[in-house]
A and B are shown apart, each in its own frame.
Chain A
Amino acid sequence: MLDAAIPRQTPTQLHELTVLQAGALLRAGELTSTELTADALARIERLDPALHAFIHVTAEQALRRAAQADRDLRSGIDRGPLHGIPYALKDIIDAEGVPTSNASWLSTGRVAGSDSAIEGRLRAGGGVLLGKLTTYEFAVGGPSFDLPFPPARNPWSDEHVPSGSSSGAGTAVAAGLVRVALASDTSGSIRGPAFHCGAVGLKPTYGRVSGRGAHALSVTLDHFGPLAWTAGDAAAALQVVAGADPAGSRCADVPVPDYLAAPARGVAGLRIAHSPGWYAHDPATAPEIVTSIERALRVLEGLGATVEQIDLPPYDLFNACGRIIFAAEAFSVHEEDLRRHPRSFGRYTYQRIMPGAGVLATDLLRAYQARRRLTRALDEAVFGTCDVLITACGQTTAARWADFGADWPPPRLASDMQTIPFNVSGHPAASVPTGFAGNGLPIGLQVVGRAFDEASVLRVAAALEVELGQRNRRPPVPEAGRTSCDPT
Chain B
Amino acid sequence: MGRAHLTSVAGQPSVDLVRSLADAMRAGLRSGAVRRMIVPPRETAEDAAGTKFISMPAVSPDYDLYINKVATIIAPDPPGPGATVTSVVPAFSASSGRFLGVLDGTVVTNLKSAAVTALVTDCCAAKKSGVLGIIGSGVQARQQYLGVSAVRDIAEVRVFSRNAANAAAFARDITAMTTRADAAVSVTVCESAEQASRGVDILVTATTSSGPLPISSQLPSHVHVNCVGAHTVASRELAEDLLRTSVLIVEDRHTAVAEAGPLHSRAVELDTLDTPAAAGFDGQRTIFSSTGCAYLDLITCAFLASRPGREEDEAELEDAAQRLRIKVPADLEGGVLDGYRGLRDMTALLRRADAEAADEPGVGESGGSHA
Contact = CB atoms under 8 A, between A and B. Distances in A.
A408 B338 contact: yes
B3 to A, nearest CB: 11
Contact of A370 (B32, B335, B353): B353
A451 B371 CA distance: 11
A365 B350 CA distance: 11
Contact of A371 (B335, B338, B345, B367): B367
Given A283-B271, A343-B329, A426-B367, A357 B350 contact: no
A386 B324 CA distance: 47
B369 A427 contact: yes
A258 to B, nearest CB: 20
B242 interface: no
Interface residues of B, number: 50
B20 to A, nearest CB: 12
A139 to B, nearest CB: 17
Interface string B356-369: 01001001111111
B5 interface: no
B64 interface: no
B275 A284 contact: yes
Interface in B265-300: 271-272, 274-276
A355 B274 contact: no
B275 A363 contact: no
Interface string A20-45: 00000000000000000000000000
Given A342-B329, A355-B339, A396-B276, A324 B346 contact: yes
A373 B275 contact: no
A248 B336 CA distance: 33
Given A355-B336, A357-B317, A368-B364, A324 B350 contact: yes
A363 B369 contact: no
Contacts of A220: 365-366, 370
B368 A427 contact: yes
Nearest to A370: B350
B350 A320 contact: yes
Contacts of B317: 355, 357-358
Interface string A415-431: 00000000001110000
Contacts of B45: none
A312 to B, nearest CB: 14
Tell me what chain B mostly uses at the interface: helix, strand, loop, or mixed: helix
A379 B276 CA distance: 33
A350 interface: yes
A342 B321 contact: no
Interface in B32-82: 32, 35
Contacts of A356: 343
A375 B360 CA distance: 14
Contacts of A363: 347, 350-351
Interface in A329-387: 335, 338-339, 342-343, 347, 350-352, 354-360, 363, 365-376, 378-379
B223 interface: no
A373 B357 contact: yes
B274 A283 contact: yes
A327 interface: yes
Most central of A287, A324, A372 by chain B CB within 10 Å: A372
A6 interface: no
Contacts of A320: 345-347, 349-350
A427 B327 CA distance: 38
B27 to A, nearest CB: 9
A319 B343 CA distance: 11
B328 interface: yes
A458 to B, nearest CB: 17
A283 B273 CA distance: 9
A375 B343 contact: no
A205 B334 CA distance: 37
A207 B370 contact: yes
Contacts of A378: 368
B271 A357 contact: no
Interface in B232-275: 271-272, 274-275
A252 interface: yes
Interface in B296-323: 316-317, 320-321
Contact of B32 (A251, A282, A347, A366): A282
Contact of B339 (A205, A250, A338, A351): A351
A206 B350 contact: no
Contact of B335 (A287, A323, A324, A407): A407
B30 A283 contact: yes
Contacts of B35: 281
Contacts of A352: 339
A350 to B, nearest CB: 6
Given A351-B339, A358-B343, A369 B371 contact: no
B340 A358 contact: yes
Interface in B14-35: 26, 29-32, 35
B46 to A, nearest CB: 37
B350 A366 contact: yes
Most buried by B among A252, A358, A367: A358
A300 B316 CA distance: 52
B182 interface: no
Interface string B208-241: 0000000000000000000000000000000000
A317 B320 contact: no
B350 A351 contact: no
A358 B340 CA distance: 7
A409 B346 contact: no
Contacts of A251: 371
Contacts of A324: 343, 346-347, 350
Given A323-B342, A427-B369, A367 B332 contact: no
B274 A335 contact: no
B31 A426 contact: no
A373 B363 CA distance: 11
B354 A370 contact: yes
A317 B348 CA distance: 11
A283 B340 CA distance: 26
Contacts of A250: 371
B19 to A, nearest CB: 10
B154 to A, nearest CB: 17
A230 B218 CA distance: 56
Interface in A308-333: 316-317, 319-321, 323-324, 327
A355 B49 CA distance: 55
B349 A316 contact: yes
Interface of A: 205-207, 220, 249-252, 281-284, 286-287, 316-317, 319-321, 323-324, 327, 335, 338-339, 342-343, 347, 350-352, 354-360, 363, 365-376, 378-379, 396, 407-409, 412, 425-427, 451-452
6 contacts: A281-B32, A343-B329, A350-B332, A354-B339, A358-B343, A375-B369
Interface of B: 26, 29-32, 35, 271-272, 274-276, 316-317, 320-321, 324-329, 332, 334-340, 342-343, 345-347, 349-351, 353-354, 357, 360, 363-371
Please give me the 5 A-B residue pairs with the lowest Cβ-Cβ distance, nearest first: A408-B335, A375-B368, A451-B369, A351-B335, A355-B339
Given A286-B276, A316-B31, A352-B339, 16 more contacts: A206-B370, A206-B371, A252-B369, A283-B271, A316-B349, A317-B349, A320-B350, A347-B332, A354-B321, A354-B326, A355-B317, A358-B343, A363-B350, A366-B350, A408-B335, A426-B370
